[in-house]
Structure 1
Amino acid sequence: MYLSRRAPTAPFRGSAVGALAGALAVAAHGIGGGGDPESAALALLLVTSIATGALTTHLPTRFHGRLALVGALGLGQFVAHAALTLTAHPHSASPAASMLAAHAVATAICALLIASAERLYGSLVHVWRVVLRGEPHPIPTAAQAHVSQHRTNPVDAMLRASISRRGPPVRV
């Protein structure tokens, strides 16, 4: 059996998709006229958000493109909306146009935020590891030889060597 390796950002992507799918589903649901969810709807929403995040985390690496991210978030929004409508809720199972638009905008914004965070993941983790380990990294500099600005004259060199810089003894 062939198992594909997960991307290093897979746990981050799954966590973000699960959390944002639930949170933005509630926000888009409220903006679209669905009202505030009750405790039973929130419990069901929590379960569906965890399941959506876990499924997204375990996707193979070949499904980690932008289209797969939008698809996972869209599926998360759909499942979250279904979870909100399964409990005693004031509107019907088919959402209004304003609610669909709110869910679509929330999905697009989440996809943009997660894709940006994944792009920065590698450099942020590298900086974090360097800070925690405290490993000294050499700073590359161009080596320059010191070149004297004045011309060397053999007479000047002899005079400088013959001048004594020692003074009389000092009483302590």
Structure 2
Amino acid sequence: MSPARPAATATLRGSAVGALVAALAVAAHGIGGGGLPESAALTLLLVTCSGVGAVTAQLPARFHGPLALMGALGVGQAAGHFALTLTSHVHSVVPALPMLAAHAAATAICALLVANAERLYGPLVHVWRVVLRGAPQPVSAVTTAHVPARPANPVVALLRASISRRGPPVPV
């Protein structure tokens, strides 16, 4: 039995979830009072969000609804917050109420954005292909026969035809 074929938007969904989780985890973390991450925290966050995006892209087709996106983004926000708190941060692993509200709002907004992007993917790709392909142009059926120019002096034409172009060059 062969594995189920992934949806056409699976890569789009996984990439969008990974990128949005990373960007909005940093933004919600900063808005909630956590500050901007240092390089070690940012590296750990990017690895975590890449994993969340890859797992989201491989989900079966029955998990492609908006609730599944909310779940994937929620898990991603939690994993992103945890990745940001593993380094030298001044707050605890359990987020404060403003930070929790910022993470929740970011999760809901991102789920709506990704769901709409998935819904519009097919029509936008169709329009893009039509625009790039352009309207079909009719093929011209009129052909013109090539008539070589007749030399004014037939002797010159005979001499041109009799000159051999083969063989090595002769030194002069």
Q: Same fold by TM (over 0.5)?
A: yes
Question: Aligned-residue CA RMSD in angstroms?
Answer: 1.3
TM-score (ref. length: structure 1): 0.77
Report SS of the residue matched to 1:101: helix
Q: Report deviation, 1:4.
A: 1.6
Alpha-carbon deviations, 1:131-172, whole Å to 9, x = none? 2222439xxxxxxxxxxxxxxxxxxxxxxxxxxxxxxxxxxx
Whether 1:106 aligns to 2:106 is yes
Report SS of the residue matched to 1:5: coil
- Alignment partner, residue 50 of structure 1: 50
TM-score (ref. length: structure 2): 0.77
Q: Report deviation, 1:130.
A: 1.2
Q: How far apart are the structure 1 equivalents of 2:16 and 2:42?
A: 18
Question: Which AA in structure 1 matches 2:96?
Answer: A
Q: Which residues of structure 1 form unaligned runs of 5+?
A: 138-172
Matched positions, count: 137
Structure 1 residue runs of 4 or more that deviate by more than 3 Å after TM superposition? none
- Alignment partner, residue 119 of structure 2: 119
Q: For the structure 1 residues 58 and 135, does the alpha-carbon distance in structure 2 shift closer, same or farther, using more than 3 Å as the test?
A: farther
Q: How far apart are the structure 2 equivalents of 1:69 and 1:4?
A: 20
- Alignment partner, residue 147 of structure 1: none
Report SS of the residue matched to 1:95: coil
Alpha-carbon deviations, 1:31-70, whole Å to 9, x = none? 1111111000000011011101100001111110111000
Q: Report deviation, 1:8.
A: 0.6
- Alignment partner, residue 169 of structure 2: none
Alpha-carbon deviations, 1:109-146, whole Å to 9, x = none? 00011111111111000011112222439xxxxxxxxx
Report SS of the residue matched to 2:25: helix
Q: Which residues of structure 2 form unaligned runs of 5+?
A: 138-172
